[in-house]
Amino acid sequence: MTENPLAQPPRPTAIPAGWYPDPRGSTQRRWWDGNAWTHALETPPPVTPGYANLPGPTVSRAPSPSAPTVRRAIVGDAVPDTSLPTRRQLRDAAAVSEIQRQFAGEAPAYSMGPEVTATQQPQSSFAAQQFATAADPTTDDAPTHPQMTEDPAGVIDSSVVSTIAPAPVTEAPVHTFAQTFAPVPAAAPVSANTFAERERADVERSERERAESLRRAELGAAELEAQRLETVRLDAERAEAERAEAVRAEAARIDAARIAARAEEALLIERAERVKQAAVQRAAQAAAAAQALATPVVDQYHPFGMTPTIRTGTLAPPTTVSTAAAWLFSLLPAVFVGVEFGIATYLPEFYTPFSQGGTAFVLVIAAIALAFADRRQLTQSGHTVTASPFWIVFTPAVYLFARAVRTTGQTGRAGASWAPLLVFAVVAAAAVAAYYVTPMAERIATLFA
């Protein structure tokens, strides 16, 4: 039974100094001095692919839904490809070469550089390094330049160095740097069966991502549908509220118009009633005026040969010519004599010319007041023309004479009009006679002697 050579420990190798792809990911190449990376960089020349005839696995991974569709040149594919190799193709080719080298027990041969000694241990293997650093499946298929890890031993095999990159040189660049980069230790080599598992894991992960994307899309669609339904519901509620508000506004407008119409109708009715009442009043006044013009006013008795007085118009003739003020006015001489007699009899010490003058002044003021009162009473009785109260300045008898003339002309009643004047004349004569026939005259004469 042959022992599996893959289970044997890797043989010690040493990477010679030379130019290798920059492990930091730049498009330039970095100088490896045999122990560590330096700061020296150079632009690599164009590379011709040399991996098409290398044997390799035939398992391919389905691209993820989010990865771009790129034609992949699988190792062993008979179709020629002029594009640059992908990272997966480089990993597959390097892993197959590493497995074949370990199985055959051969060490890589380099055209330049120090020889490999048995005491040196390999820093890394390509398969272990690739599985130690899991790459994103969505970017593994993008074509790019060959990239290297920090340890060139895990990336480039001695059998494919001449086809992938220029042969390393043993001379260091002119400029050296004190700072170096220590390579990362690599893991143990992995068998070729792990690549199929890796492919299946990538496919399963792609399926999970696709299912997750579909689930998120379904959730997003459900959420959008819920939002749309909510928006439709809110729009319907808003439209219903607007319609209700419009109906309320229209009802309020109709009610306001109805109230305004009722108020206007009531105003028109009231105005019509007023016009009707005014027309009735005017008709009544016109009928009364026509009747007054058609029916003359004739006295019940008048002497032969006298023309009866015909009055026109609507004013009624005065009903009276006698007033209380006129009768008091006609009795003023008796009042004056009585006051003087009382003072002379009961208060002889006050009976002086000054007291007599004061009594006369008071009676004159009283006569003027009675004249104005008499005129007002005559006006209220229907007299349109009355005597002026200032006629009393000439004597009270003059006022009474003017009064009798005015009242007689308006009423035609001469007896009642001249009665106050006659009474005034009689009272005045009696007062003068009493002054001379009574002992008061002697007493008064004695007082003034």
Question: Rounded distance, CA 192 to CA 388, Å?
Answer: 155
Regions of the chain short of the pLDDT cut 50: 1-12, 50-52, 56-82, 106-150, 154-170, 172, 174-192, 305, 307, 313
**CA separation for the pair 227, 115 (Å, rounded):** 73
Angle at the Cα of 361 from the Cα atoms of 359 and 364, rounded to 5 degrees:
110
Backbone φ/ψ region at 382: left (φ over 0), alpha (ψ -120 to 50), beta: left
pLDDT digits (tens, 9 = 90+) for 94-103: 777 777 666 5
Cα–Cα distance between 11 and 109 in angstroms, integer? 13
pLDDT at 15: 78
Nearest to 420 by CA among 334, 326, 350: 326
pLDDT of residue 441: 52
Distance of alpha carbon 423 from alpha carbon 203, whole angstroms? 154
Among 397, 420, 396, which residue's Cα sits nearest to residue 408?
Answer: 420
Alpha helices in 39-182 (DSSP H): 87-104, 126-132, 161-164
Helices assigned H by DSSP within 295-352: 324-330, 332-346
Beta bridge partners of 42: 29
Q: Which pLDDT value is given to residue 215?
A: 85
- Which residues are bridge partners to 41 per DSSP? 30
Q: What is the pLDDT of residue 48?
A: 54
Distance CA 97, CA 59 (A): 17
DSSP class of residue 67? S
Q: For residue 39, give the DSSP letter.
A: E
Residue 30: enclosing H or E segment and its boundaries? strand 29-32
- Predicted TM-score (pTM) of the model is 0.28
Q: How far apart are CA 251 and CA 285, in angstroms?
A: 51
Residues 108-167 pLDDT 10s: 444 444 444 434 444 444 444 444 444 444 444 444 444 444 455 544 444 444 444 444
Q: List the chain domain ranges.
A: 1-191, 210-278, 324-448
The pLDDT, as a whole number, for residue 244 is: 92
Among 432, 334, 329, 316, CA closest to 371: 329
| pLDDT at site 245 | 92
Neighbours of 87 (CB within 10 A): 18
Would you tell me how many other CB atoms lie within 10 Å of the CB of residue 273? 10
Instruction: Quote the pLDDT of residue 103.
Output: 59
- Residue 300 is predicted with a pLDDT of 55
Helix (H) or strand (E) holding 31: strand 29-32
User: Would you mind telling me the total number of residues written for the chain in this entry?
Assistant: 449
Q: Please give the pLDDT value at position 383.
A: 76
Q: Cα separation of 180 and 2, whole Å?
A: 44
94, 160 in Cβ contact below 8 A? Answer: yes
Please report the pLDDT score of residue 301 as a whole number. Answer: 55
